[in-house]
Amino acid sequence: MRDLNYQLKQLCDRNRDGSYATQSDRARILSHIANQLHDLGYRHMNADSLRPKHVEALIGQWKADAVSAGTMKNRMSAMRWWAQKIGKDNIIARNNAAYCIDKRTFVTNISKAKTLDDVHLAKITDAFTAMSLRLQAAFGLRREESIKIVPSWADGGDRLKLKDTWTKGGKYREIAIRTPEQRQVLNEAKRLAANGSLIPASMRYRDQLQRFRTQCDKAGIHGVHGLRHRYAQERYRQLTGWPCSSCGGPRSSHLNVEKKERDLSARLLLSEEMGHGREQITAVYLGR
């Protein structure tokens, strides 16, 4: 392991800021940045060597690689964390606009949905990971929710109950169980987990999260949040009777008064089911 990679790993290990998922993502991003700096010709860096020229070189490379604004913002956040931990906050501008990084685009009317197909799912060798993926696809769950869930507790008959300690923002919510397929997945999850969660009894959440990531990488399953997009789009079609704009359906501005009311009602219900509580965020999944 190169010196910079090792020292950044040590820096992350000593500073456990944020949730485990946040820590893990930060460590992964910084490792990638260290590799990129090496490839850019900065061969003898250590954790204290960060300078404005390194930041500018990285941003230049990201733009040349057509990295998305959202990904660049995440990388900048990790680098600001790095700079803050070594006492060099001022070497990175506080505003991304200083580097001409575009604002993140949330509404694109381009679908980011992904389908969980049997071919890729068959490559998952861990039964708990496979079940978490199936629950994500069936109910639009976030990754953390699908791992921490206790299926026996969550089964509310005609609805799936999500405890506040499993959800983002710590907000309890319920999702209607509408289809035989959803019921079947939940029943199978209950049999697998017995009275526990989809974290094996011998493991902690962070251990199962790491195994989940490793299993998905080996199986070629990437961007699992796309399963949540697929759920939202299918649910919207079921509620309204037409596809959302990101799936080729009409834009909101082209709907008549009656359909606009149905569109809004569907988005409000979806925002609750998916744990957002804000109608505006549904545009990320459905377009506008």
Whether residue 92 sits in one domain with residue 23: yes
113 part of a folded domain: no
State pTM to two decimals. Answer: 0.76
Q: What is the mean pLDDT of the chain?
A: 93
45 part of a folded domain: yes
114 part of a folded domain: no
In this prediction, residue 123 carries a pLDDT of 97
Q: Looking at residue 49, what DSSP letter applies?
A: G
Whether residue 147 sits in one domain with residue 83: no
**Distances in whole angstroms, Cα of residue 87 to Cα of each of 8, 82, 99, 191, 286:** 14, 9, 21, 51, 42
111 part of a folded domain: no
Whether residue 57 sits in one domain with residue 137: no
pLDDT-wise least confident of 18-22, 85-89, 141-145, 265-269: 18-22
Whether residue 208 sits in one domain with residue 134: yes
Whether residue 27 sits in one domain with residue 64: yes
Whether residue 157 sits in one domain with residue 177: yes
116 part of a folded domain: no
Residue 42 or 66, more confident: 42
**pLDDT tens digit sequence for 195-248:** 999 999 999 998 999 999 999 999 999 989 999 999 999 999 999 999 999 999
- DSSP state string for 128-177: HHHHHHHHHHHH---HHHHHH--HHHHB-SSEEEE-TTTSTTS--EEEE-
Domain that holds residue 157: 124-219
240 part of a folded domain: yes
**Total length of the chain:** 288
28 part of a folded domain: yes
Chosen domain end from 48, 65, 99 = 99
**pLDDT tens digit sequence for 141-197:** 999 999 999 999 999 999 999 999 999 888 999 999 999 999 999 999 999 999 999
Burial of 107 (0-12, 13-18, 19+ CB in 10 A): middle
Whether residue 26 sits in one domain with residue 63: yes
Whether residue 162 sits in one domain with residue 90: no
Number of folded domains that form the chain: 3
Whether residue 198 sits in one domain with residue 140: yes
Whether residue 209 sits in one domain with residue 131: yes
**Span 100-117, average pLDDT:** 82
